[in-house]
Structure 1
Amino acid sequence: MPEGLLMFACTIADIIERFTGAEAMVMGDVTYGACCVDDYTARALGADFLVHYGHSCLIPIDATQGMKMLYVFVDIKIDTSHFLETVRFNFRPGARLALVSTIQFVSALQAASQELRPDYEVCVPQCKPLSPGEILGCTSPQLAQDTDAIVYLGDGRFHLESIMIANPGIPAYRYDPYSKVLSREHYAHERMQRARQEAISTAARARTWGLILGTLGRQGSTHVLQHLEARLQALGLPFVRVLLSEIFPSKLQLFPDVDAWVQVACPRLSMDWGEAFSKPLLTPYEAAVALKEIEWQQTYPMDFYANQSLGAWTPNHASHQPQRGPRRPAQKQEAGPPGVKEPCRDCRCPDTSPSPAPRPEAPGAAGRPQPTEQQPGPKCTGTNSPDAGTGEKGLVASPVE
């Protein structure tokens, strides 16, 4: 669980032991995000069941190593009415707004989007496998170019910078639910791109490469590592593999024979702190550029965990997905009694229509739910992209404190 929740860890462990009779262990290692699911360590400890608190389901529950998995979201309640008033005060009616957040505020974001739709063209973009409106520091959607503004609900800039990098031409605003302040945010796009291109240019001349596989939870991807290895072997370039839980400049200085590094852990580590390392520290995407696998993209891609990503240097690229067999043909369903509506095929929707006059029930129809018509929401473009950096912010008028 995130460090902010560790204060509740002993209480949760006591509750689990009291009501289940199972032995509970608290894994107190650092957890930066949804990529830090540590099922490998849990298996080594002999655990049968792993509960991960506070993050979204980035690692599929059927992909964990020999154990069952449960994600427990943390839903933080905010003053939604103040957020709505602030948006209405600062944006003209009819503006095209993209609303995004982190997983702990997504439910508040969804509720707010419904309230804003009568007055604005609201888009809650989705970058699968993330939830609608959710963004990560390394994974964000590319929005339609006619979007007027990005409104981020959350504290801090790390996740917001991701969608700013993926959409450099769209103004971004951050509403802090704790301070209740809306601020215009900026990102140094040119500086970041210039620094990353210099690192790529230096790495392209490297004779010996180092490949770092992150071992902090599931940050490292063996599929991506194997893809990079195959590319280096095809070019006849020697390389060394290094496994690290956390990556520091002083640690890499212990390998003086390595001319360039590629870290398969967190892309933002290279983007935000790459200049602190004496040798180039590339992301897998940047390595693909340096190794002539792809051209440099004008808009830096923030698609590290996206299902529809730019190439095989990302963990969820189609080339890394297991081959699925042909789908079974849909079975023909028998029609219900006359006058009785059939429920939706993919869900069980409650019937919200007025109840008809009482009449004798058809056999087998008692308690059968009825479908509800839903109005389609506004369409929005969702593709994927990642990044990091520094920025400036200026306060924007807020109607209430």
Structure 2
Amino acid sequence: MDFENYYEITRVADFIHTYNFSRVALQFPDKLLKDSSRVASSLRKKIRHLLEDSNGTPEESRGAAKLYVMADTTYGSCCVDEVGAAHVKADCVIHYGHTCLSPTTTIPAFCVFGKAPIMASNCAESLCNYAAKCGKPVLVLFGLEYAHAMPDIKEALTVEAMKYRDSNSGFEIYYADVTNSIIIPSESLKMENRHLLLTDNQDNNEDFSGKTDIKFRINGLRWSLPEGYSLSDYLLFWIGSDNSAFTNFILTFHSCEIVRYDATEGYLKTDVSQQAKILKHRYFLVEKAKDANMVGILVGTLGVAGYLDMIHQMTELVTKAGKKAYTLVMGKPNPAKLANFPECDVFIYVSCAQTALLDSKEFLAPIITPFEAMIAFNRGSEWTGAYVMEFQDVIASHTVEVKKESEARFSFLQGGYVEDFDLQEGNDDKDTVLSLVNVTEKALQLRNKDTQLFSRRDAKSGAEYFAARSFQGLEIHGSDSFPEPFLIGRRGKASGYEDEQNK
């Protein structure tokens, strides 16, 4: 392995030098941590050489950026660890290994995807043999670790596809592109749908046949469809491992024909029904969550842009459904941690798309995503078959729903809620209507107080609930006031307890 090429030492050093970062955090997953010291050393040397070339004196290069190695990330290793970077007051993060490319909130990041090996010729041959039988145009997508090999794969596919040009089994091949390896902080993505972007024809360098109207983004990839085409018209060809990125891809585009080329084993897998079964299980969890009374909101990220908005939205959603909700921050969740909250009937996991799906088999209560919570707790919501993983998409859709709801007004003249009720006809009418609405709301609250039809006002918060429960854990106040369990047994050291008789 070419070490400097694999870790992109030159590109990273240029990035740090160009933007004049002074404190840089290097984030490694566990499997790459063994190379961290060597990467830091190589980067330090390269940055000093760049400073010497620009300043001309070795003395001035002593002000090179300080590098800090981060490991054991707070949450998923695919996300930029802004919490860990804040501990060393870093102004930039260099992220190595598998990444979800989720937007950050406060700090820029440069992602080094790595360079997984692949046989381009074998990949091209496998794809063309299957596409010739399928008869659909092909859209090639890939894991980010294979982005470095895409030029070779494109060249091999071009040569291989020429064999079918003159036959009836000819087909067209299109490719997705990497969005960017640099993540720019974004305070709010409420108005951006990161999966399906309905935008103008701008930045259309990747379009297929001129005019395009729909852009897609998922797993750090982007592509466009020609006008008049839908994604189901294409054969989706995924190059990569069966990992969280592929699962995200399967769930989002489960209605399309998908095949996967396993670069490690070197074969094409056409049956992805096993992954598709995940969707049925997720729908089962949604139905089970509808019966929940107490809901825990698990914080699975402290860095992905929009996570606070998502937490507030979930709290509002659960409360409006007449259920109890409280937020839990515990790092990476596991069965032992969540077992401390047996009162929770279901948990909502707010995290990036590639860590959102937790297998609930080992947990006492099911764990669902924000999108699944929207279906479970929104009155009248039905699952249409579409599936959303990015919680930024959920925020965007919720904003549209709130806007629609806010347009409805109660009309006492017409005896119900109407969509286009105009309150601007007169101030007297407006004041009268508002006062009647307020009186009616108070009457409904008093009427339902005893029947508890609307119990959310009387629902206790999570802190109040746990403060009132019988068991709150063991408390050690001092040596003279131990709880009863601590008085059971012997005192002293094993070599000679206090009550042991010397023989």
- Paired with 1:138 and 1:223, the residues of 2 have a C-alpha distance of 25
Distance 1:258 1:141, change over 3 A: farther
Which residue of structure 2 lines up, in the alignment, with residue 201 of structure 1?
A: 287
Which residue of structure 2 lines up, in the alignment, with residue 349 of structure 1?
A: none
Match of 1:152 among 238, 260, 273: 238
- Paired with 1:249 and 1:139, the residues of 2 have a C-alpha distance of 36
Which residue of structure 2 lines up, in the alignment, with residue 44 of structure 1?
A: 87
Query: Are residues 1:99 and 2:150 paired?
Result: no
Which residue of structure 1 lines up, in the alignment, with residue 450 of structure 2?
A: none
Larger RCO (alpha carbons 8 Å, 6+ apart): 1
Which residue of structure 2 lines up, in the alignment, with residue 165 of structure 1?
A: 251
C-alpha displacement of 1:101: 0.8
- Paired with 1:32 and 1:112, the residues of 2 have a C-alpha distance of 34
Query: Are residues 1:247 and 2:333 paired?
Result: yes
Which residue of structure 2 lines up, in the alignment, with residue 25 of structure 1?
A: 68
- Paired with 1:90 and 1:166, the residues of 2 have a C-alpha distance of 23
User: Structure 2: which 5+ runs fail to align?
Assistant: 1-27, 49-63, 166-170, 180-193, 196-204, 207-215, 402-503
2:79·2:100 contact (CA, 8 Å) conserved in 1? no
- Paired with 1:189 and 1:27, the residues of 2 have a C-alpha distance of 33
Q: Which moved more, 1:251-260 or 1:181-190?
A: 181-190
Aligned with 2:101: secondary structure? coil
- Matched residue pairs, number? 311
Q: Deviations over 1:136-155 (max 9, x none)?
A: 399999962222x3221113
Which amino acid letter does the alignment assign opposite residue 10 of structure 1? S
Distance 1:295 1:106, change over 3 A: farther
- Paired with 1:126 and 1:17, the residues of 2 have a C-alpha distance of 31
- Paired with 1:190 and 1:178, the residues of 2 have a C-alpha distance of 22
Distance 1:79 1:193, change over 3 A: closer
Which residue of structure 2 lines up, in the alignment, with residue 2 of structure 1?
A: 29
Which residue of structure 2 lines up, in the alignment, with residue 227 of structure 1?
A: 313
Distance 1:263 1:201, change over 3 A: same
Distance 1:313 1:52, change over 3 A: farther
TM-score w.r.t. length of structure 1: 0.65
TM alignment of 1:261-300, pairs within 5 A: 261-266=347-352, 271=357, 273-292=359-378, 295-300=381-386
Distance 1:127 1:210, change over 3 A: farther
1:260·1:280 contact (CA, 8 Å) conserved in 2? yes
- Paired with 1:203 and 1:236, the residues of 2 have a C-alpha distance of 13
- Paired with 1:311 and 1:204, the residues of 2 have a C-alpha distance of 21
1:173·1:183 contact (CA, 8 Å) conserved in 2? yes
Q: Which moved more, 1:246-255 or 1:84-93?
A: 84-93
1:99·1:109 contact (CA, 8 Å) conserved in 2? no
Query: Are residues 1:258 and 2:344 paired?
Result: yes
User: Structure 1: which 5+ runs fail to align?
Assistant: 320-401
Which residue of structure 2 lines up, in the alignment, with residue 53 of structure 1?
A: 96
- Paired with 1:215 and 1:255, the residues of 2 have a C-alpha distance of 20
1:139·1:305 contact (CA, 8 Å) conserved in 2? no
Structure with bigger helix share is 2
1:211·1:264 contact (CA, 8 Å) conserved in 2? yes
Which of structures 1 and 2 has the bigger CA Rg?
2
C-alpha displacement of 1:241: 0.9
Which residue of structure 1 lines up, in the alignment, with residue 264 of structure 2?
A: 178
Match of 2:106 among 42, 51, 64: 64
Match of 1:83 among 113, 120, 123: 123
Q: Deviations over 1:268-314 (max 9, x none)?
A: 666451233221211101111111167333324144167xx355489
Which amino acid letter does the alignment assign opposite residue 195 of structure 1? H
2:254·2:276 contact (CA, 8 Å) conserved in 1? no
TM-score w.r.t. length of structure 2: 0.53
Which residue of structure 1 lines up, in the alignment, with residue 53 of structure 2?
A: none
Q: Deviations over 1:294-352 (max 9, x none)?
A: 7333324144167xx355489xx899xxxxxxxxxxxxxxxxxxxxxxxxxxxxxxxxx
- Paired with 2:263 and 2:282, the residues of 1 have a C-alpha distance of 33
C-alpha displacement of 1:10: 0.7
Aligned with 1:182: secondary structure? strand
C-alpha displacement of 1:187: 2.4
1:151·1:174 contact (CA, 8 Å) conserved in 2? yes
Which amino acid letter does the alignment assign opposite residue 31 of structure 2? G
1:53·1:74 contact (CA, 8 Å) conserved in 2? yes
- Paired with 2:338 and 2:93, the residues of 1 have a C-alpha distance of 33
Which residue of structure 2 lines up, in the alignment, with residue 12 of structure 1?
A: 39
Q: Which moved more, 1:287-296 or 1:189-198?
A: 189-198
Distance 1:231 1:110, change over 3 A: farther
- Percent identity among equivalent residues? 22
1:54·1:74 contact (CA, 8 Å) conserved in 2? yes
What RMSD over aligned residues (CA atoms) do the two structures have, in Å? 3.9
1:138·1:305 contact (CA, 8 Å) conserved in 2? no
- Paired with 2:178 and 2:380, the residues of 1 have a C-alpha distance of 22
Query: Are residues 1:304 and 2:390 paired?
Result: yes
Which amino acid letter does the alignment assign opposite residue 182 of structure 1? L
Distance 1:138 1:208, change over 3 A: farther
- Paired with 1:108 and 1:294, the residues of 2 have a C-alpha distance of 47
